Amino acid sequence: MITPENNFLAKNPGIFYLTSALGSLVMAITVGLQPLFLDEYFSIAFEESGTINAHLLVMTQLVGLALTISLEPVAQATKIKALLTAFLFVFLGSLLAPFSHLFGVTIGLGGLLIYYISRIMVAYGAEMSQWQLTTLVLERFERQTHPHKLLSSMMVMVVVGAMLVCGILLQIPLTKTKLILVMVVPILAALAALGMIYAASRPMIPSDSPMPAKNGGFDKVIDVISADARLQLSLATAFFVRADFIAVNLFFSLWCISFADLLGITRGAAVAHAGWLLLITGFALLGSIPFWQSFMARSSRISALGIGLSIGAMGFLLLSRIADPFNGPVLIPLLMIGVGHSGCLIASRILAAELSPTTLLGPVQRVFQLVGGLGVIFLVQSGGYYFDAVGPQTPFTLLGSGYLFLTMYALWMVTHGIDEKADHTLIKHQRLDLKPLVFMFCLLPVTWLVGRVLITGYSPGSSVGQMPVGFINRYLGDWAFNFLLISLAWRPLSELARRRSLLRYSRMIGLYGFFYATLHVMTYVFLEWVLKWDDIVVDIHKRPFIYLGLVSFVLLIALSVTSIYSVRKKMGQAHWKRLHQSVFLINILVGLHFLFAASHDNGEPYAYIGLVLILIAYRVREQKTKQSKTIKRKKGSGGLPPGF
């Protein structure tokens, strides 16, 4: 059956490519100009530029993603209207952004707050438009025998819109006036996309009635991904691939701006230099597409992913070792990043399209896009913090470490016989346990830290290379808290996904929380105070919130020791369960420890506390629901034991 949406795409296939390019262009220009706009109109200090730019990007991405997910059922019922609405949000947000500082003064609100609102509108519209365009084109896959050709064409247009055109525009030496003029381009791009979609679909909009959703729930998507190791590797790659596209754009521009005063050039000229290099990176990405297409046509897609990941890893790690972004050698790692990104993106998209059942093509792609969005939130936020605390190259070290880990995972798959033949069938069908992948992802934060120590050296009591010990202590404490929160959220996630099998990873994640907490305490004792116990006691009395951390750490030791199966067996299930309910108390204590220790400038501590309270409230509600069901069941049986 040809739906109105399918008919619309079949008659106007060029619309998909052009609107994808225009949507990508809007996001690329918005992210690329953000550092300069904040610097020119809001006078953001360089010492805080990484954190504030990353925080703004992450918060807008987070809210945009949340809105997209919550409104997705409605959008799937009326795809064309949802696509028009999405580009309308992009248009209004792009229109508001250049004048946010003026609107803020006029209506009595901060201009930065208005800019946040405009960015949220653009982020939501761009996210939703990509979801809708992906769904529409994948419905066409039902009649396509070579989806990789369509995906490659889509990628070409995205690259043209996001990197090439953006790179050309950034060549303009940007004064305040010219900056506003360039910010008009996203407005025109969104308006053009709206006009094309409306004109092409106008005859069918009145009959665009809700269509029945395809039978593809989240639980079915989890089953499909769990059954094929290639999809698991592709999903893990998607976490990094979308983030590196945005991170290079944002952090390389910030890095060049930070050198502007040292070199005696304007910051607009620094952005133009960044745009020129990103333009060359885009050409490398575009030029390598035919190579990757040819390679994957006759070879293993797993090998293609592994090679792409290894090239990208080398590019990012080389970039992190360059001191001056205006120096000639900086071009080499950027070219490697472009080529590696191209291979990873094409291979992961093609695997997701070709290995998914027809009825789940759209849902699987949306899960991939969701994971990519989470990668942006996680990696850009972390990169912004490291940019300010350690140095402008550190976000690239983080991305390079992630790529390197995934390269090792792909190599592990191939060496264990999990690879494709020339006809793209698996050599050995094997349901792969996700534990090695989860284990490696959990090790990534400490691997990055150890790598920095090995490269830059260590000086007791002062710094580890370029990193102050205070930063390392905060970094490890943050990750301990992150893993405790993930562990607390794991059961609700498994229940929402209707997959109790996910609970097998809960113990590992909880133990990683203890692992990072132990490193946090050891850093405080051994690196910060170098075993000076008198000074440690004085410091604890001076900062009482440390007591909260110590109490929670002692409780964590108890939970970790009793996680050993033999100890748990000796304790008995009832006593063990009662002890492990203290995980709620631990999260509250750690949340308060974090609240009193951290700066409140960006509201991060309150966000963490709010998340802890939401998760605890969910668990309490679930327990009460189970208790009430048990009481009703007993009343229904008249209090008699089963069998009477």
CA 136 to chain centre: 24
Q: Which residue has the higher pLDDT, 191 or 433?
A: 191
Determine the pLDDT at residue 28: 73
Listed by start position, the domains of the chain span 4-205+229-432, 451-498+506-629
Q: Which residue has the higher pLDDT, 66 or 9?
A: 66
Q: Which two tokens stand for residue 80?
A: 């064309």
Determine the pLDDT at residue 228: 82
Q: Which fold has domain 4-205+229-432?
A: Growth Hormone; Chain: A; (1.20.1250)
Fill in the amino acid letter for 308.
Answer: G
* Helix, strand, coil share of the chain (percent; to 5): 80, 0, 15
CA atoms within 13 A on the CB side of 36: 33
Dihedral angle, C-alpha 516, 520, 525, 526, nearest 10 °? 70
Burial of 434: CB neighbours in 10 Å, binned 0-12, 13-18, 19+: middle
Q: What is the pLDDT of residues 21-49, one digit of tens each?
A: 777 778 777 777 777 777 777 776 655 66
Q: Which residue has the tokens 């369509």?
A: 150
Q: Which residue has the tokens 């390598």?
A: 288
CA 235 to chain centre: 12
CA 387 to CA 50: how far, in whole Å? Answer: 5
Average pLDDT of the chain is: 77
Q: What are phi and psi of 426, to 5 degrees?
A: -70, 140
- Ramachandran assignment for 172, one of left (phi > 0), alpha (psi -120 to 50 degrees), beta (any other): beta
CA dihedral (557, 555, 517, 551) positive or negative: negative
Q: Which residue has the higher pLDDT, 547 or 127?
A: 547
**95, 119 Cβ separation under 8 angstroms:** no
> Rounded to the nearest 5 degrees, what angle is found at the Cα of 56, between the Cα atoms of 50 and 61?
125
Q: Which two tokens stand for residue 219?
A: 């639980």
- Range with lowest mean pLDDT among 146-155, 185-194, 364-373, 421-430: 146-155
Q: What is the pLDDT of residues 478-535, one digit of tens each?
A: 889 989 988 888 887 777 666 677 788 888 999 999 999 999 999 999 888 888 888 8
CA 238 to CA 146: how far, in whole Å? Answer: 21
Q: Of the candidates 320, 342, 480, 343, which has an alpha carbon nearest to the alpha carbon of residue 410?
A: 343
Q: Which residue has the higher pLDDT, 439 or 641?
A: 439
CA atoms within 13 A on the CB side of 47: 0
Determine the pLDDT at residue 369: 77
Q: What is the pLDDT of residues 133-168, one digit of tens each?
A: 766 666 654 444 455 555 555 555 555 555 555 555
The CA-atom distances, in angstroms, between 29 and each of 83, 108, 381 are: 21, 28, 19
Determine the pLDDT at residue 212: 41
pTM (two decimals)? 0.74
Assign 420 to helix, strand or coil.
strand
The CA-atom distances, in angstroms, between 330 and each of 28, 168, 177, 335, 337 are: 21, 19, 30, 9, 11
Determine the pLDDT at residue 564: 86
Q: Which residue has the higher pLDDT, 218 or 316?
A: 316
